[in-house]
Amino acid sequence: MPEKASFIACYGWHHTNKSWMHVTDSPDKPQSLWTPLKRPAFRNLMAAMAVSNTGYWMQTVAAAYLMRIWTNADPFMVSLVQTSLFIPPALLLLPAGTWVDMLDRRKFMMFSQCWMMLASCAVTILVLADVQNGVALLALLAFFAIGFALNTPSQSAIWADLVGIKEVPQAVAIYSLTNNGARILGPSLAGALIPAFGAVGIMAFNALSYIGVIAALYSWKAPTRPRTTPQPFLSLLFGAFRYAKTSALFRAVLIRGGLFFTVSSILLALLPVKVPEADDFGTVFSFMGLGAISGVFCFPRLALGRSREVIVSWAVGINALAFISMALVSSIFALGVLTFVVGFTWFFVMSSMQIGAQMILPDEIRGRGLALLNLVLMSGYAFGSPLWGTVARLTSPNEALLIAGSLSLIALLLTFRMKLPQDKAG
């Protein structure tokens, strides 16, 4: 697979002083993108998650639609829909990652899926009762987001358990493919189905979609993880920071990933300003998902034989040039093409950071380490969006895009020598 495909294959357990992983004595060779789908447990879970992710994006669109209707299109209340979905993950990702490392990951993920299903049922009941209370909707969406926060680190941590460390890159790519496909399909389906079935039908579909994921997890016989010495919760909670302090490779992932997504947040912040018409905005924004999906298929070939520093540096540089180009064009076609490029490079950076972290994180800290990574990336979007909105207000959207692209190139020059994790040799 990527680079020289020097991953550790999956037969038996290999114990080291830091982690356990699947190993084999057979020579390493490039792996097909679809290799993990040969495993029934992974295949079943991906199919279920494809449906569930589609339901999630449908629910997000339906919630914004309901808030607009219930509050007479109050822009502040509509904007709070995304806020209610973001704040709980920001607060809970690290504690959730700690619990993932302390508890059975499969059962913890089942618990989080049940939480999201119950929260979606509550939203469905609220809509069915025609309460039309925006504050109540925000509260239930925040309650749903707690389950999302609990699910994120457990979901990230189980890939190695499901397919072995050798096939983690393919597993990450396949999940990205299904999630970005859902990101495109979900909003389109919601827009088409709301007039026919109403928002309540969308909410009910999302609630039911979690049953498949729960069933797939229940039927999977997860490998037994080595027992570890119990430690105080707070000591475990800060374990990810201690590891980042001692690991230059993990720090590089956090710093370079955080900088990239802080700059990339400008797309979501300013694209609605660049493309004010709703139909055009939906079309242009969908190209980001298409670009990410294209990245899934191109990643193995383009990454083969190249170091992760080269992959990420090229992606960051092209992304920066795309932002600079966006400042110079106004046609919908040109913006769609450039948004496609941004989605393409976004996938290369995201997958490189996720895979790099998976390669070096000891299993006993995997949940917390991945939670810290996701928190850094999410914070880049959270704090970057208002930052670029402020810059655009003080200057203009086009000037803000020029500034973002230029700063990204400067950050690339400053961090280029920060080595990223490479794939382990067997």
Q: 158-176: per-residue pLDDT in tens?
A: 888 888 878 888 888 888 8
- Residue 26: pLDDT above 80? no
User: What pLDDT score was predicted for residue 25?
Assistant: 33
pLDDT for residue 31: 62
CB 295 within 8 A of CB 344: yes
**Cα maximum dimension of the chain:** 65
Calculate mean pLDDT across residues 235-243: 82
Which residue, among 324, 319, 386, 387, has the nearest Cα to 352 in the 3D structure? Answer: 319
* Mean pLDDT of all residues belonging to the chain: 82
* pLDDT above 50 for 396: yes
How far is residue 387's CA from residue 390's CA, in Å, rounded to a whole number?
Answer: 5
Task: For 258-315, write each residue's pLDDT tens digit.
Answer: 999 889 888 876 776 787 765 676 677 778 888 888 888 888 788 777 888 889 999 9
80 vs 145, which has greater pLDDT? 145
| Ramachandran angles phi, psi of 20, nearest 5° | -120, 150
Query: What is the band of 21 on the pLDDT scale with cuts at 50, 70, 90?
Result: very low
Per-residue pLDDT of 380-390, as tens digits, reads 876 787 788 78
Cα–Cα separations (whole angstroms), residue 167 to 31, 85, 184, 363: 8, 31, 26, 16
Q: How many CB atoms lie within 10 A of CB 225?
A: 14
User: What's residue 253's pLDDT?
Assistant: 92
Stronger pLDDT, 289 or 247, i.e. the higher one: 247
pLDDT of residue 425: 43
Q: Which has more confidence, 122 or 99?
A: 122
**Burial of residue 222 (number of CB atoms within 10 Å: 0-12, 13-18, 19+):** middle
What is the per-residue pLDDT for 50? 93
Which of 59, 60, 77 lies closest to 68, judged by CA? 77
Residue 286: the pLDDT is: 75
**Which of 85, 91, 93, 92 lies closest to 59 in space, CA to CA?**
85
- Of 224-233, 234-243, 281-290, 317-326, the range with the lowest mean pLDDT is 224-233
Mean pLDDT, rounded, for 72-95: 77
Residue 64: partners with Cβ closer than 8 Å, 6 or more residues away:
78, 81
Q: Give the bridge partners for 20, in sequence order.
A: 15
Ranges of H-type helices in 220-247? 233-237, 239-246
DSSP assignment of 311-331 = HHHHHHHHHHHHHHHHTT---
Neighbours of 226 (CB within 10 A): 10
Domains by residue range for the chain, with CATH: 35-230 (1.20.1250.20), 238-426 (1.20.1250.20)
Residue 260 CA: distances (Å) to CA of 204, 278, 316: 37, 27, 7
